Amino acid sequence: MKTLQGPAIFLAQYASSESPFDNIESISAWASGLGFKGVQLPTWEKGLIDLDLAAESKDYCDELKGKMAANGVVPTELSTHLQGQLVAVHPAYDDALDCFAAESVRGNPAARTEWAIGEVKKCLSASANLGLSAMATFPGSLLWPFVYPWPPRPAGLVDAAWAELVKRWLPILDHAKDVGVDCAFELHPSEDLHDGATFEHFLELTGDHDAVNILYDPSHFVLQGLDYLQFIDLYHERIKAFHVKDAELRCDGRVGVYGGYQAWNDRAGRFRSLGDGTVDFSQIFTKLANYDFDGWAVLEWECAYKDNQVGAAEGAKFIAEHIIPVTTTSFDDFAAGGADDATNRRILGIDR
């Protein structure tokens, strides 16, 4: 067994133009002051990382790590959630998601796709220059508007979407393998990869590509009614990153998993600060330790109720208390007796 690393925090929900969240030095010091040992960096935040430089220059990456180390943290993973989302966008979401892209490609879906693919590749190169082993990302979606099987989907629609998604991702995955960095897909409602079945299908269509892996976040499984503990048993070999995020699903006679188009605080399924939801983190940390996951436990704060600063402070303590320093001995070693094959055969009554 191996001990998880942490606590760490994903900075996407905190980075802003205001101090101390506007540059890598001050936000690192803020995180360290709360008890975090690592930070996951959103690569679209220019104040935290210059992705172009990071992809090209190991010297820049060494300097970046030095600034972080001087303020008490290390990088855990880089994130391309927004860029990965833009690798595959259904036209229904063109206008809503265009703001994620560079201004030069907005309003041009084909150009935006190529830009997104290039950005994700840059992040993989940057991750390698930083000495990181996985990149957190989204796969995007061409099928999400058709997730419910009514109206009936035209024959071949699903297969065509999967084929196109794989076509767009294979060059990225091959680059990931070349630089030695895994793509850790966050399986998430609104993405074509959102549960075990969709992950398995994507993996199969990519030829069981080595770079196709998982960012495990139990909160998204709670909102789907999926067994998030058995998920670890099924897919632990592909789990390469971990978001520690709580959630709850409290359906009633009025609202279920679809939420009724209501705001987060009125939905049956909603994200909560750590400890305020229903996720069994004791079992999650136990299973991950049992399966030798030694990556980072990264807080992703999202809550419809609690202040984000409070959520961060509580989250650091929560994760630290849940990380299991794994044992190197067995509790009953004191009672063990030495034995050899002859002794064992005698105990079993063999050869009598």
Q: For the chain, give the secondary structure using H, E and C.
A: CCCCEEEEEEHHHCCCCCCCCCCHHHHHHHHHHHCCCEEEEECCCCCCCCHHHHHHCHHHHHHHHHHHHHCCCEEEEEEEHHHHHCCCECHHHHHHHHHHCCHHHCCCHHHHHHHHHHHHHHHHHHHHHCCCCEEEECCCECCHHHCCCCCCCCCCHHHHHHHHHHHHHHHHHHHHHHHCCEEEEECCCCCCCCCHHHHHHHHHHCCCCCCEEEEECHHHHHCCCCCHHHHHHHHHHHEEEEEECEEEECCCCCCCCCHHHCCHHHCCEEEECCCCCCCCHHHHHHHHHHCCCCCEEEECCCCCCCCHHHHHHHHHHHHHHHCCCCCCCCCCHHHCCCCCHHHHHHHCCCCC
Tens of pLDDT, residues 274-314: 999 999 999 999 999 999 999 999 999 999 999 999 999 99
Closest C-alpha to 141, from 164, 159, 157: 164
Q: Does the residue 352 lie in any domain?
A: no
Q: Does the residue 50 lie in any domain?
A: yes
Q: Which residues contact 126 (CB under 8 A, 6 or more apart)?
A: 43, 49, 51, 54, 55, 61, 78
Once rounded to an integer, what is the mean pLDDT over residues 18-45? 97
pLDDT confidence of residue 338: 67
Q: Does the residue 123 lie in any domain?
A: yes
CA angle 185, 189, 195 (to 5 degrees): 60
Domain extent for 101: 5-347
Domain at 81, CATH number: 3.20.20.150
CA distance linking residue 324 with residue 64, whole number of Å:
30
Asked if residue 149 has a cis previous peptide bond (ω within 30° of 0), the answer is no
pLDDT confidence of residue 342: 83
Q: First-to-last CA distance in the chain?
A: 39
Q: Does the residue 158 lie in any domain?
A: yes
Q: Which two tokens stand for residue 114?
A: 């190529």
Instruction: Please state, rounded to an integer, the average pLDDT across all residues of the chain.
Output: 96
Q: Does the residue 313 lie in any domain?
A: yes
Query: Residue 256's pLDDT band (boundaries 50, 70, 90)?
Result: very high
Query: Residue 346's pLDDT band (boundaries 50, 70, 90)?
Result: confident
Q: How many domains does the chain have?
A: 1
| Residue 220: pLDDT over 90 | yes
Tens of pLDDT, residues 93-130: 999 999 999 999 999 999 999 999 999 999 999 999 99
CA angle 194, 196, 198 (to 5 degrees): 60
| Residue 333: pLDDT over 90 | no
pLDDT confidence of residue 235: 98
| Residue 319: pLDDT over 70 | yes
Q: Does the residue 190 lie in any domain?
A: yes
- Positive or negative torsion for Cα 212, 216, 219, 223: positive
Q: Which residue has the higher pLDDT, 38 or 338?
A: 38
Identity of the amino acid at 256:
G
Closest C-alpha to 298, from 320, 271, 277, 279: 320
pLDDT confidence of residue 329: 62
pTM: 0.94
